[in-house]
Every structure is written in structure tokens, then in C-alpha cells.
Amino acid sequence: MSSQTHTLELNAPAEKVFEFLSKVENLPKWAVVFCLGIERRDGRWWVKTPDGELLFRIEADARTRVVDMYFGPAEDKMMVAPARVVGLPDRRSLFLFTVIRYPGMTDESLKAQCEPLVAKEFPALRRHVE
């Protein structure tokens, strides 16, 4: 497996960025390419994506500011997109987001996932937290 980690420096405190990212309800506000809509059914979140509907959950730790995002067609087929918010001097922060190439994915599909993340989703995140 290979992966790509992308970073975004933000003029916002790490606590504020973590708080925003750790709430599933905020996903449509910043993950504007991946998340076309979100719905809670039977206690679980479902995300409408360009490739269909996926189960989605976030496991977040406020102490470490880790925000792991799990997604997949079913609970036993979840993949993870690990993320973390790091505090920087002067009330700034760094958002780190890793896209993992899972079995069956091509290098091209990994690249296709990463390009909109940087081009569209990072700017949307910036608008909501700065």
C-alpha cells in the first residue's frame, strides 16, 4: 500500500480546527467533493459521494487532536483516512490528512482523490475555520 499525506497551514487555533473537523455534521461544509450529502439513519451516518453511498464515522481524540475518518460500504469493509491537527505558534495550526491507496485502487485513482482535496476541500476548510 502507498499513501499521500497533504498538509494545510491555517490561521486558526488547533482547538478550533479540531472541534470543527471532529463533527460529522460539518463534513458537507468542507469535504465538498467527497460529501454530496449526509444522513443519519439507525444511529449511523451515511454519506452520499460521487461513487455512491458510504457508511461514515469519525473517531476523534481531543487530547491528541487526531481525527480518524472511517468510510466504506459496510461496517466490516471500512477504510480509514487518518488526520491530525497540530498546534503552531501564534494560534495557528497545521492540518495533516492522509489518503491511503487500498488494494484494488490504482495510482491514478489515488491521484484523483488527492487533487480535489487540495484544490477544493482545503480552501473550503480554510473558509470555515479562519
| pTM of the full structure | 0.92
Separation of alpha carbons 54 and 38, rounded Å: 10
The mean pLDDT value for 84-112 works out to 90
How confident is the model over 9-37, as pLDDT tens digits? 999 999 999 999 999 999 999 999 999 99
Q: Which domains are present in the chain?
A: 2-129 (3.30.530.20)
Flag the least confident range among 26-35, 36-45, 113-122.
Answer: 113-122
